[in-house]
Structure 1
Amino acid sequence: MKRLLCHSLFPTFLILFIFFIGADVSGQHTFVYGDQMPDAPELSARGAHAVGVRTLDLVHKDQVDILNSKDGKEVRYDRPLKVELWYPAMAGDNADPIETYNELMGTRGDSLRPLLPFTFKGRALRDAKPKTEVGKLPLVVVSHGYVGSRYLMTYLTENLASKGYVVVAIDHTDSTFKDANAFYSTLLNRAKDISFVVDAMENLGKAGSGDSLAGVVDASNTAIIGYSMGGYGVLNVGGAGYSAGLGQFFGSMTGGSTAINSLLAGNENFKGGADTRIKAIVAFAPWGMERGIWDAEGLKGLKTPTFFVAGSEDDISGYEKGVKAIFDGAMNADRYMLTYLNARHNVAPNPPPAESLAPGLHIDEYYRYAEPSWDQRKMNNINQHFVTAFLGTHLKGENFSKYLNLPQDSNEETWEGFKPRSSTGMELRHAKGM
């Protein structure tokens, strides 16, 4: 009788379960990128501010057009850069606003996969009025990988804005899903784009600029965050000069050698690390060490406090001879390195979009985001936690030392700020600058 009863109740239970799941998916408490998982560490929680978001088109004038300079003639152009801004906002009655971001899968780069539009949700209010009573807020500039977009890390950009930062993420021209072009452009322009956007945000935030963020942006108190090729860029802006090998790579290209020389270690025109506005760097899986882009002399120039994030099985940037070698070589910087054991390269992006699971799609649409050994949502929460602690320390003067001064091996004991039994499979190294 009991067995018969269980069988008769099962369809009803299943229907109710599906009903409640469906109600949750369509309601305002739907899980969106960046929301806390049950085992999320303490500092991953969103801050006190509602978040506004807006799109801005910038133009970096009179730049070397490396892709069209040829036959002995250097071509210059006004380089367009689209950016996305997140900031503390006046939300009014919209206590939990939901934003729909429009994104693409595929790439026009070397693999020429078809471009497929998709959308995903975030917790922000489009073009909301900024909170001005909070005063001037630290600036965070975010640089995506190749290929990528300004929406690749919304779990982090929204989270930081809710904690009192103005966050701007760049669409690097010639390096996004929709316009990826020859790699020369990314190598040349990545660091230059980042520096330009810091300048542009400083001008936008000045009193009298006419922008709604005038008086809100404190560019003198800036952090730069980069993933993969973004990491390649932020380390250079922070003081690590590229090796002479990169200059030789450009040597045969019209205009290329001169343009890249200003980013090389030892060049008298190299200004990396001279920007005193930049107080902290976060480098997710920075690229280049295994390709000879960095050397010991160049890495000595990095003196800005830096937080590295890596996967121990990174097959794009490398680990022992890649990211860890950069960490070890940056001997003059106070630096941390969080390692996700068994993870590969994708330690920074949002979770894979549901559309990437569609039958027939190339697996790279999924692996543009996914990690084979980790739940991306868990990694997102952990990144939020540690970036909050690191930036809070260096940009806001907050005391987060208990979350950063930890046993190296997370399997030895539960790390501070993590729920019991939840901090396994990671390492955190700390080395003080010489």
Structure 2
Amino acid sequence: MKKLSLCFVLAFLLVTGCLVNAQPVDPGFINGDLLPNAPELAARGSYGVGVRTLKLVHPAQVDVLHGSAGQHPLYDRPLTLEVWYPTRTSASQQSTVTYQSTLGRSNDPKRPLVPFTFPGRATRDAQPDPSGGAYPLVIVSHGYPGSRLLLTYLTENLASKGYVVVAIDHTESTYSDLAAFSSTLLNRALDDKFVLNEMARLSGKGSNSFLSGLLNADNTALIGYSMGGYGVLNAAGAGYSPQALKLFGQMSGGSTALEPRMLASPTYQASLDPRIKAVVAFAPWGMERGVWDAAGLANLKLPTLFIAGGKDDISGYEKGVKAIYEGAINADRYMLTYLNARHNVAPNPPPSASMQPGVSADEYMHYAEPAWNEHRINNINQHFVTAFLGIQLKGMEYGKYLVAPAGDSTEAWPGFKPRMAVGLELHHAKP
């Protein structure tokens, strides 16, 4: 009888998710779900969401981690992608997927790698839904370090609204393969452009890919967080300064491999891609280090949404993200600021694995904000990114959601429930 009772208790714990690590922090909560006070456009769209993993190789790239200045070998650079897309299943049919990620740093013995899983709401390898025609493409670039799964609350949400969303694992910049910073400085914009080219190829007729006919690479937005923001701004027109080349040389033993991404380089100007229509930059890194000067920022001419923490101590705020926003004088640009937030205004909430005994507190703080609820940030990001991309890529009438209320009023902020639009600032500037 005692044995039977014990088996019953264990079965009950497994079903309810009460065993350690069986569920995320909030039982039954999946990253990207709505809190009761979520703004209007945070809600999922009408499509079900599929997800697949792709592995690509970018051939003959400069291996800045080996060789010496001007004599770097070339290597075939592997890239793993996660692709979310609309499916034939209804959004009301709740499907879950288990994502596998890692905490820690591969190059730091004090922060050993800790594999973990977390749930999402998508169907692995589902059949795509071609009824929406060729969907706009969104390419997502993570921070340093990070992973392609760092923003699943947003990538799934956008796919449910009729986008094909591709997130990159930037080689030598993920938790599990972290290498010297010079690789990240060099490769971010190059990875973004290569992935755009590959998505165009795979979406073509006769490609034998599930993406054939599914996306329109001529209608693309880039989303980047931290070092991802550094890369997408450069890919979109913000050419790097002479100071950036100097900084890169200091970190790479005098290498000049970054020179083709400088504003003054003819190679850079030729690389700018008209298929890119809009940019979302979460806490982009580099301004405080002189990565851009006035001319470089003035060369950014695409509609851009900046999202930042008012107390960002990694990318900086007044002399960092806000300075980029103010310097991009030729772009139709918005800036959403989370007051009293620091740098972590983009990722998923902290995974439950980051709170287990023996795991460095740094793993939790890599995701967490000290003064904000991370689920709340996620919902607000879903709302504003939906509005911005809806305008830029789909021509939707979402302009009212990107207008802040006058004065100190919080009652009139479109899309927010009464009393809920606090702690935010939204600015808009035109060329």
- Contact residue 239 and residue 272 of structure 1 kept, 8 A: no
- Contact residue 46 and residue 91 of structure 2 kept, 8 A: no
- The CA distance in 2 between the partners of 1:282 and 1:370, in whole Å, is 21
- Contact residue 136 and residue 218 of structure 1 kept, 8 A: yes
Encode CA deviations 1:367-410: one digit per residue, 9 max, x unaligned.
11111110000000000000000000000000101101223667
Encode CA deviations 1:139-173: one digit per residue, 9 max, x unaligned.
00000000000000000000000000000000000
Q: 1:244 aligns with which of 242, 245, 254?
A: 242
Does structure 1 residue 256 correspond to structure 2 residue 255?
yes
Question: What residue number does 1:15 align with?
Answer: none
Question: What residue number does 1:83 align with?
Answer: 81
- The CA distance in 1 between the partners of 2:383 and 2:340, in whole Å, is 20
Question: What residue number does 1:341 align with?
Answer: 339
Using the TM superposition, give the Cα deviation of residue 216 of structure 1 relative to its aligned residue in structure 2, in angstroms.
0.8
- The CA distance in 1 between the partners of 2:407 and 2:44, in whole Å, is 27
DSSP 3-state at the match of 1:271: helix
Does structure 1 residue 376 correspond to structure 2 residue 374?
yes
DSSP 3-state at the match of 2:82: strand
Question: What residue number does 1:367 align with?
Answer: 365
Please list every run of 5 or more consecutive structure 1 residues that lacks an aligned counterpart in the other structure: 1-17
Using the TM superposition, give the Cα deviation of residue 354 of structure 1 relative to its aligned residue in structure 2, in angstroms.
1.0
DSSP 3-state at the match of 1:387: helix
- The CA distance in 2 between the partners of 1:134 and 1:398, in whole Å, is 15
Using the TM superposition, give the Cα deviation of residue 71 of structure 1 relative to its aligned residue in structure 2, in angstroms.
7.4
Encode CA deviations 1:2-47: one digit per residue, 9 max, x unaligned.
xxxxxxxxxxxxxxxx99x948998xx9220000000000000000
For these two proteins, the number of residue pairs brought into alignment is 413
Aligned pairs for 1:301-312 (under 5 A) are 301-312=299-310
- Contact residue 130 and residue 212 of structure 1 kept, 8 A: yes
Question: What residue number does 2:280 align with?
Answer: 282
TM-score (norm 1): 0.91
DSSP 3-state at the match of 2:427: strand
Aligned pairs for 1:34-433 (under 5 A) are 34-70=32-68, 73-91=71-89, 95-109=93-107, 113-251=111-249, 253=252, 256-257=255-256, 259-271=257-269, 274-407=272-405, 412-433=410-431
DSSP 3-state at the match of 1:370: coil
DSSP 3-state at the match of 1:347: coil
Letter in 1 for 2:187: N
Using the TM superposition, give the Cα deviation of residue 265 of structure 1 relative to its aligned residue in structure 2, in angstroms.
1.3
Identical pairs, percent: 58
Please list every run of 5 or more consecutive structure 2 residues that lacks an aligned counterpart in the other structure: 1-11
Q: CA RMSD in A?
A: 2.3
Encode CA deviations 1:74-110: one digit per residue, 9 max, x unaligned.
2001100000000001238992110000010101245
Distance 1:273 1:345, change over 3 A: farther
Distance 1:316 1:23, change over 3 A: closer
DSSP 3-state at the match of 2:173: coil
Deviates more, 1:154-163 or 1:363-372: 363-372
- The CA distance in 2 between the partners of 1:313 and 1:218, in whole Å, is 38
DSSP 3-state at the match of 2:280: strand
Distance 1:157 1:38, change over 3 A: same
Distance 1:106 1:409, change over 3 A: farther
